[in-house]
Chains A and B, each alone.
Chain A
Amino acid sequence: MTNSTANKPENETPIPNKRSDIKQTDGKIKSGDLKFRNIKYYLAETFRNLVRNKIMTITSVITVAACLLIVVFSYAIASNVNFILAYLETSVPVMVVIEDELTVPEVDALFHEILQTENVTSATFITPEEALRNLAENLGITDGILAGLEEANPLGRSFNVELKDIRMQSQTVVAIGLLNGVARVNEASVVTDMLIAVNNFVGIFSFVVMMVLGILSVVIITNTIKLTVNNRRNEIIIMKYVGATDWFIKWPFVIEGIVIGIFGAIIPMGIMWASYDGLIDTIRYTDFQMLLQMPFRTATELFPIFAPVVMVLGVGIGILGSISAMRKYLSV
Chain B
Amino acid sequence: MIRINNATKIYENGARGVQDVTLNIEKGEFAFIVGSSGCGKSTLIKLLLKEVDLTEGEIFINNENVTYFTNKDIPFLRRKMGVVFQDFRLLPNKTVYENVAFAMQITDATNREIRRNVPMCLSMVGLQKKSKAYPNQLSGGEQQRCALARAIVNNPPLLICDEPTGNLDPTTAWDIMNLLNEINDRGTTVVMATHAWDIVDGMKKRVIALKNGFVVRDVERGGYSDDEFYS
Q: Which of A3, A48, A241 contacts B83 (CB 8 A)?
A: A241
Q: Which of A2, A18, A234 contacts B178 (CB 8 A)?
A: A2
- The chain A residue sitting closest to B111, CB to CB, is A37
- The chain A residue sitting closest to B102, CB to CB, is A242
Given A4-B178, A241-B85, 7 further pairs, Cβ under 8 A: A10-B123, A15-B117, A29-B76, A242-B79, A243-B76, A245-B75, A332-B51
Which residues of the other chain, B, contact A4 by a CB distance below 8 angstroms?
126, 174-175, 178-179
Looking at the assembled complex, report how far the CB atom of B98 sits from the nearest CB atom of chain A, in whole angstroms: 10
The answer to whether A8 and B120 have CB atoms under 8 Å apart is no
Interface check A23, CB cutoff 8 A: yes
Interface on B for A, CB 8 Å cutoff?
Answer: 49, 51, 64, 71-73, 75-80, 83, 85, 89-93, 102-103, 105-111, 113, 116-117, 120-121, 123-124, 126, 150, 152-155, 171, 174-175, 177-179, 182-183, 186, 202
Task: For the complex, count residues of A whose C-beta is within 8 A of B.
Answer: 45
Interface check A9, CB cutoff 8 A: yes
Q: Which of A48, A243, A246 contacts B103 (CB 8 A)?
A: A243
The answer to whether B91 and A235 have CB atoms under 8 Å apart is yes
Interface on A for B, CB 8 Å cutoff?
Answer: 1-5, 7-10, 13-19, 21-23, 27-32, 35, 37-38, 41, 48, 234-235, 237-246, 248, 331-332
Which residues of the other chain, B, contact A27 by a CB distance below 8 angstroms?
64
A-B CB contacts (within 8 Å), total count: 127
Q: Which of B72, B90, B183 contacts A238 (CB 8 A)?
A: B90
Looking at the assembled complex, report how far the CB atom of A53 sits from the nearest CB atom of chain B, in whole angstroms: 13
The 6 closest A-B pairs by CB, nearest first: A243-B79, A243-B78, A4-B175, A7-B126, A10-B123, A4-B178
Looking at the assembled complex, report how far the CB atom of A271 sits from the nearest CB atom of chain B, in whole angstroms: 36
Which residues of the other chain, B, contact A3 by a CB distance below 8 angstroms?
175
The answer to whether A16 and B117 have CB atoms under 8 Å apart is yes
The answer to whether A8 and B124 have CB atoms under 8 Å apart is yes
Which residues of the other chain, B, contact A244 by a CB distance below 8 angstroms?
75, 106
A101 CA to B183 CA in the complex, in Å? 116
- The chain B residue sitting closest to A332, CB to CB, is B51
The answer to whether B75 and A31 have CB atoms under 8 Å apart is yes
Interface centre among B76, B89, B116, B183, by most chain A C-beta atoms within 10 angstroms, is B76
The answer to whether B73 and A29 have CB atoms under 8 Å apart is no
